[in-house]
Structure 1
Amino acid sequence: MSAREFPGFDPEIVADAVRQPPLAALRSAARSRRRHRAGIALAAVVSLAGAASVPFGGYRTAGGSFSPDGVLPTPINSPVSELFVLSEDKAVAVQVRGDDRCDIRFSSTSDGGRHWTDFRPARSEAPCRQQADGPERNPSTVGYTVLGERSYLVEFDGHRVLSTDGGQTWRDATDAMIEVPAFPRTALLVSCQAGCHALSGPLAVDPQTGDVFRLSGEPPSSQRPFSVQASPDGTIWVTYHSESADESPRIARSVDRGATWRTAGEPDGAWTVAVAGVSASEAYLLALPRTSAPDRPRSSGSALLLHTLDGGRTWTEMGTDLPTNTIVRPFTVGRDGSLLVGDRTHDASAAFFYVSRDGGRHFTRSAVVTQGGIAGSSPGLAWLTEPGDAVAGTATAQVSRDGTTWAPLRLP
């Protein structure tokens, strides 16, 4: 093991199986989105705000991104393209219709899947270009983020719209969000991984009203967050990937509800996939080992897992036996302290979780494996979907707090 010192830190997404986006593709897509956003801002003099409010005592998860230079989903064969589990009882299902990916719909449950709302479509005044518009026209870059049970954020070519009433009405996201200097103590942080998709900065949701908060202060980075997670004590951990040579990847932490931040560079030799916070002092980084090529992580051997006990001043390599993988894998800390990493077989025929109960040194496969399924996670929760027969109503998910005990969740 080695300690690392840092100064100053005081698709195929859908169908019968999901291909998690490669890190290189996500970074390429992020650079493209940044150039596209800059063009929109110069042409229309429009600025989208970048951060928002926090979860204390609860969490929220995030969504998908479909980009012409990233990973595109295939047309869906079942009503659910992607699932986001917010708690044992609450979940949101996303449906992406057709080849153009411009039709995105949301359904939610608050009783463990016994009843689901109707799928409601995102609505925006911004045009969404379809592939069928002609070979000379690129399809639109589309992303979405599930912020809460009834709060959803969707982006079409840089224009973001927000619903806070389960998809019944949609407004311009900048106008609809509430700007605050620090996240309210009762608000729930939006946790996200794999590039954070429609998020331009940390956000949070009022669980009673669905209102969405963003921060008014200077963000810890000019880049979009790559992963955001809150630990149970309310500490916010964020990772950023660099989109240019002018800014290096970094990790940010806030212990005062986003009012102030402390940042440090990404650990040397690590290509960070996600952060999982345990407390103000403790967190884990799931990463890929870098090679001599800056945009090419090592694709064989063991992954890189780092651990801090001093708020990020130093990071220790755990010497894990977790196999590396160049896809972006779901990563979380279970309610019992176990480490959970979602994965799939090489042929994408089955999804499962790797589980560690010794701080990340040793991982074993979960006993539950879903055929043709998708692995997902949010803070303290992991899930595996199984397509089943949508017409017969047998499509389900298995949800777990610890990677050992799983409970079924019926899908719409």
Structure 2
Amino acid sequence: MPELDFTGLRDAAYRGFKPQFENVLAVARRRRRRRRVLTVATAAMVLAGSGVAVAGRPDAPGPPSVGVGGVRTPDFIPIPGGTPSPGTDRGVATGRPVAGDLDHIYLRWSECSGCRIRWAGTEDGGRHWRTGDLPASVNGTVDLRAVGPRTVVGRSVPRLGPDNRYAEWIASTDGGSNWRKVQPRTVEALPVGWPVLGLRTGPTDEPLVAVDPATGDVAQLNRRSTLHNAMLVESVPAQAGLWVSGFTGERVDTDSRIIGTGGAVEVSRDGGRTWSRHEFPDDLTATDDVGGPAVATRDGRTVYAIGRVRGSLVVWRSADGGATWARAAGTAAVGDRTIRAALRPDGVLVVQAGISAREDPLMLASSDGGATWDRTALGPGADPRPVPGGFVQTGWPDSKGVWLSTDGATWSWLDPPELP
């Protein structure tokens, strides 16, 4: 998943966050794109309702609330506090947890700014942890991913040369004990059965990659997404196809930000060899920066595209895998919050509006396909990542640990390990 996005590092510093690579990269990406548009605009100055089908409202009981279980579950989005201020050289910095299954969980960490990047991993659901060094530059950053219980890959980018051409892949098939460098190969279609990863910069800038869960080998698609500022929907099960969300166009806002226009989704059912696209009216979007509408599906046939239009929640539903769409009648006030959405195994459509403390998040649920919505308890479930045996979700960066679930409805919390 492209990553959680903030309007600027100033907000992050204000909240007391230690700046993380994901946030820095997202801001840098927006600045690069802003400079590109302003350069083009400067050069140019020098050189010279259709009708909407509305789903009916079936009779249905009220939606069950989002369950949260376990010995102790913290607030879903805890208020930041006690974190060293940006620029502090002491204190352990941890990365987003990643899971190969519900027992095998990994994260990257470092003891200080400029210290060697290390990994930590558990094979028993957090009861015991192991640590080791990552073969990456001290001045670099590592995007760590788990593609199997004991297969972990990392993408290392030198901090002094963030250009993607300098990125290197590393892989371990024994839970982090041993690592090797991997050279990606270019393919017409991503291999069946290989987990697909969305890179930080998104498929508009870099093609999608897939990783062999047995060997750690990396395959990269030979073409990028034709959507603007697209992102891979990583909460969709593999059997539902590859779904990419983005925009058909862009505009420059009054503060020089580049805003996506014309929310759209694309789906491929042959590993990325061919794609079909659907464009939505009214600039449907789940964010202002990365990706268009949120996509929720379990089987790839019943699909929801969810976002906001002028501060109101808007839901489109497809019953034929995205070939045709109808707008649901239900709505709710969500302001300019970031939207996350998922379809639970029990058929409840869950929407989380707001992904960080400063967005004052709220949770909505619908048991009738988006015809009506009810406010429900704030908790995980709207951005689950499928893993063998269940689902995982983080609240990164406000929450450092990870939620685990066998059914996508009831969740338990795993605290990050105590690291030296």
Deviation at 1:253, TM superposition (A): 0.9
Show the 5 A alignment for 1:2-401. Answer: 12=12, 28-29=30-31, 31=33, 74=86, 79-95=93-109, 105-118=118-131, 120-121=133-134, 123-124=136-137, 144=143, 146=145, 148=147, 149-155=151-157, 156-158=162-164, 159-165=166-172, 166=176, 169=179, 171=181, 176-190=183-197, 196=202, 200-216=206-222, 218-221=223-226, 223=228, 225-229=230-234, 230-241=236-247, 250-271=264-285, 272-289=292-309, 298=310, 300=311, 302-342=312-352, 348=358, 354-360=364-370, 361-366=372-377, 368=379, 377-379=384-386, 381=391, 383=393, 396-400=401-405
CA separation of 1:113/1:198 partners in 2, compared to 1, >3 Å: closer, same or farther? farther
Determine if contact 1:196/1:225 at 8 Å carries over to the other structure. Answer: yes
- Tell me whether 1:406 sits opposite 2:411 in the alignment: yes
- CA distances 1:306-327 after superposition (whole Å, capped 9, x unpaired): 2212232333233444542534
Determine if contact 1:196/1:227 at 8 Å carries over to the other structure. Answer: yes
- CA distances 1:224-266 after superposition (whole Å, capped 9, x unpaired): 6323344452411111345756996542111122222122334
Q: TM-score, normalised by structure 2?
A: 0.59
- CA distances 1:274-315 after superposition (whole Å, capped 9, x unpaired): 3233334332222221xxxxxxxx3x4x32222212232333
Deviation at 1:177, TM superposition (A): 1.2
Question: Which protein shows a greater Rg?
Answer: 2
Q: TM-score, normalised by structure 1?
A: 0.60
SS at match of 1:82: coil
Unaligned runs of 5+ in 2: 1-8, 38-84, 252-259, 286-291
SS at match of 1:28: helix
CA separation of 1:396/1:258 partners in 2, compared to 1, >3 Å: closer, same or farther? closer
Determine if contact 1:27/1:243 at 8 Å carries over to the other structure. Answer: no
Determine if contact 1:255/1:280 at 8 Å carries over to the other structure. Answer: no
SS at match of 1:107: strand
Deviation at 1:206, TM superposition (A): 1.4
- Take 2:226 and 2:397, find their aligned partners in 1: how far apart are those partners? 39
- Take 2:212 and 2:112, find their aligned partners in 1: how far apart are those partners? 33
- Take 1:26 and 1:402, find their aligned partners in 2: how far apart are those partners? 37
**Counterpart amino acid of residue 194 in structure 2:** A
**Counterpart amino acid of residue 80 in structure 1:** T
Unaligned runs of 5+ in 1: 1-10, 36-72, 129-141, 290-297
CA separation of 1:120/1:254 partners in 2, compared to 1, >3 Å: closer, same or farther? same
Determine if contact 2:18/2:86 at 8 Å carries over to the other structure. Answer: no
- Take 1:237 and 1:285, find their aligned partners in 2: how far apart are those partners? 11
CA-atom RMSD in angstroms? 4.7
CA separation of 1:81/1:310 partners in 2, compared to 1, >3 Å: closer, same or farther? same
- Take 1:266 and 1:349, find their aligned partners in 2: how far apart are those partners? 25
- Take 1:273 and 1:82, find their aligned partners in 2: how far apart are those partners? 23
- Take 1:120 and 1:211, find their aligned partners in 2: how far apart are those partners? 21
Deviation at 1:104, TM superposition (A): 5.4
- Take 1:104 and 1:241, find their aligned partners in 2: how far apart are those partners? 35
The percent of aligned pairs where both chains have the same amino acid is: 22
Deviation at 1:375, TM superposition (A): 8.7
- Take 1:353 and 1:18, find their aligned partners in 2: how far apart are those partners? 27
- CA distances 1:105-137 after superposition (whole Å, capped 9, x unpaired): 543334322233315446259x76xxxxxxxxx
CA separation of 1:30/1:238 partners in 2, compared to 1, >3 Å: closer, same or farther? farther
- Take 1:212 and 1:78, find their aligned partners in 2: how far apart are those partners? 30
- Take 1:79 and 1:27, find their aligned partners in 2: how far apart are those partners? 23
- Take 1:26 and 1:274, find their aligned partners in 2: how far apart are those partners? 23
- Take 1:75 and 1:341, find their aligned partners in 2: how far apart are those partners? 35
**Counterpart amino acid of residue 299 in structure 2:** S
**Counterpart amino acid of residue 306 in structure 2:** L
**Counterpart amino acid of residue 306 in structure 1:** W
**Counterpart amino acid of residue 154 in structure 2:** Y
- Take 2:275 and 2:96, find their aligned partners in 1: how far apart are those partners? 32
Determine if contact 1:355/1:366 at 8 Å carries over to the other structure. Answer: no
